[in-house]
Structure 1
Amino acid sequence: MSELFPMSHADLCTIAVKWLKRDFSKRGPGCDVAVSEVKTGYTGEVPDAIGWRRKDDGMDGSVVVEVKVSRADFLADSKKRHRHEGGVGCWRYYMCPEGLIGVDELPVGWGLLWVNKRGHIKPQAGPIAHRHHGPYSKSLNEYRHDTDHGREQFILVKLLSRLGDVEEMNNRLKEAHREQNRLAKRCNGLVQEINDMRHRRFNDLIDGMPRRRDAGGAA
């Protein structure tokens, strides 16, 4: 890279993955899972970064970030087959050095993320360019693409297969969840016991206090 922008394509892919997992309150899409440069099949698209989020009201789905560090790379991108048919990502963004790509150059339905020399992201277009939840939610429908679910599934299965025996992991998680519930129930029971003991102790102290005498001297 030039001295004007010292970060490489790989650097921006790393920034893209971190941004995909960033919460909306911090100007990110809030993905639960995000990875960089994973093939969508034995041939075809390799997104620079892709993430998935679990949300309600039409906000769930995948987000793709395509990193461009040169004008030539950006211009060549429009010639790729998956830019015209298919392709992954319910929402799609280009990420580039600040000023490299203009908003008026974007394909329909794409967002734009500029990255300055310090690595800070400056949203220029797309749903995330809206700071408030209302306009953001509305723009999600406007920018949403029909994604290739089969290729996205390929990515997810490939990633899960690398983790080893997924069912064994699933069983361990279920057992941990059951143990967590058991301990939480036990803790709640102990809290109740402590409160009961305090209540009884308080009543014993009240009962043990000498009674006040009335004005006539009677107890």
Structure 2
Amino acid sequence: MKAPTSAVQAFSHAQLCDVAVKWLKRPHSAGGPGCLVAVSEVATGWTGEIPDAIGFSLSHWETGATVVEVKVSRSDFLADRRKPHRMVGGVGAWRYYMAPKGLIRLDELPAGWGLIEVTPGGICRVQAGAMADVRKLGYDALQLQVERWKHHYADRDREQWLLVKLLARLGDVEKLNRDRRDEYAIRARLNGVIEEQAKTISAQRRMIYKVGHLERAALKKASNGEQTSLAHRVGN
């Protein structure tokens, strides 16, 4: 089979890295892995791997990192397999190449690697990998597929290094943690107040309905009494 050529390039590396980060954050309903955190080109150590895009998910049997390596040329893709972290270890429990449509063939993929093709219009199509046809799979089938594509010996130490580095860039993370905790507490108190107010309003509505019902019954009784009295007088 004739190998694809680099003529299919339609995006820059940076553009596809942006596409990869957005794809990582997509929920299953939109064809993605549903990562809560996703970033591009962050080192995993002083001399470690620098994934083009990596995302982290927390979802029972899907907890872990997903790596997307972006390729915009044949030469870059062919050179990638010679990197030390491709031969052993490397980050990412799930791994994909992302490339313009037609750049990489499925039979060229390393074992355990998926492929995301990007059309000229920027549409991502997962041709292979844990998220292939994810919108068509039931819960059990998806769990089996995710497990089948998982790299069980991913370098968790370097993944942790990357996450710590990202947290350090945020500044005082304990202050952020306290602020968020206080925000949750305030929100919980406000929800409690709203719930109590809703109960009060509901009770008032029931009381208004009850009073209105009694008033209507009284008026009806009075009206019936007047009609009976009038009929009595007319009969006499």
Relative to the length of structure 1, the TM-score reads 0.93
Aligned counterpart, 2:157: 150
Q: CA deviation at 1:7?
A: 1.3
Aligned counterpart, 1:87: 90
Query: SS in structure 1 opposite 2:59?
Result: coil
What amino acid maps onto 1:144 in structure 2?
K
Query: SS in structure 2 opposite 1:34?
Result: strand
Give CA deviations for 1:61-117 in whole Å, capped at 9, x if unaligned: 110000111111111111111112110000000001101101111111110011111
Q: CA deviation at 1:132?
A: 2.2
Q: CA deviation at 1:156?
A: 0.4
What amino acid maps onto 1:186 in structure 2?
V
Separation in structure 1 between the aligned mates of residue 26 and residue 199 of structure 2, nearest angstrom: 39
Residue 172 of structure 1 pairs with residue 179 of structure 2 = yes
Aligned counterpart, 2:26: 22
Q: CA deviation at 1:133?
A: 3.0
Aligned counterpart, 1:139: 145
Change (3 A) 1:26 1:118: same
Tell me, which stretches of 5 or more residues in structure 2 are unaligned? Answer: 1-5, 230-236
Residue 162 of structure 1 pairs with residue 169 of structure 2 = yes
Greater C-alpha radius of gyration:
2
Aligned counterpart, 1:9: 13
What amino acid maps onto 2:186 in structure 1?
E
Residue 191 of structure 1 pairs with residue 198 of structure 2 = yes
Aligned residue among 118, 137, 143 for 2:121? 118
The answer to whether the 8 A contact 2:43-2:162 is kept is: yes
Separation in structure 2 between the aligned mates of residue 4 and residue 32 of structure 1, nearest angstrom: 32
Separation in structure 2 between the aligned mates of residue 185 and residue 76 of structure 1, nearest angstrom: 59
Q: CA deviation at 1:3?
A: 7.7
Separation in structure 2 between the aligned mates of residue 133 and residue 55 of structure 1, nearest angstrom: 17
Using CA pairs under 8 Å that are at least 6 residues apart, name the structure with larger relative contact order, 1 or 2.
2
The answer to whether the 8 A contact 1:27-1:128 is kept is: yes
Give CA deviations for 1:28-62 in whole Å, capped at 9, x if unaligned: 11000000000000002100000001101x11111
Aligned residue among 75, 80, 86 for 1:77? 80
Separation in structure 2 between the aligned mates of residue 4 and residue 161 of structure 1, nearest angstrom: 39
The answer to whether the 8 A contact 1:5-1:117 is kept is: no
Aligned counterpart, 2:51: 47
Separation in structure 2 between the aligned mates of residue 186 and residue 35 of structure 1, nearest angstrom: 39
4+ residue runs over 4 A deviation: none
The answer to whether the 8 A contact 1:31-1:52 is kept is: yes
RMSD: 1.7
Tell me, which stretches of 5 or more residues in structure 1 are unaligned? Answer: none
What amino acid maps onto 1:89 in structure 2?
G
Query: SS in structure 2 opposite 1:62?
Result: strand
Change (3 A) 1:112 1:3: closer
Q: CA deviation at 1:179?
A: 0.3
Give CA deviations for 1:141-182 in whole Å, capped at 9, x if unaligned: 111002111000110000000101000000000000000000
Separation in structure 2 between the aligned mates of residue 87 and residue 52 of structure 1, nearest angstrom: 15
Q: Say which is worse superposed, 128-137 or 173-182, in terms of deviation.
A: 128-137
Q: CA deviation at 1:208?
A: 2.1
The answer to whether the 8 A contact 1:127-1:137 is kept is: no
Identity of aligned residues (%): 47
Q: CA deviation at 1:4?
A: 5.0
Separation in structure 1 between the aligned mates of residue 87 and residue 150 of structure 2, nearest angstrom: 15
Separation in structure 2 between the aligned mates of residue 201 and residue 129 of structure 1, nearest angstrom: 58
